Structure 1
Amino acid sequence: MIILLGLIKLISPITALTHIINRLLNAALRGFALCAVGIINLFNKVEWDYQIEGTLRQNGW
């Protein structure tokens, strides 16, 4: 679906149609990304391990 809409957008000279296709493409890509992140989080539990050397200053890097 994403490729088909992209091809239609590529060959379409109508500005209003390309705006509609842009919204559809953004929604489809957002949905794909959410599903991909959900599947990754479902099967790969990430445990963060971090260590800070030295002291941190609140007003500086």
Structure 2
Amino acid sequence: VQVRFSQARHHFLVMPRESIANLKALDSRHLDLLRHMQSRGEELAAKTSKTLQFRLGYHAIPSMR
């Protein structure tokens, strides 16, 4: 998993190294990967602030390929 930081003060992207074409391509084989990505996001949020609340989610944009 690669961790990338945007220009925003607290905006993190946790991206898989595995190429996944789109959300419809996800299946049960990807559960461990998704859990790992969620865990890494939570770790980054906890390291960043003890008082701020972060929202974690997934999004897919075709240009991110």
TM-score by length of 1: 0.43
TM-score by length of 2: 0.41
Higher helix share: 1
Q: Whose radius of gyration is greater, 1 or 2?
A: 1
Higher strand share: 2
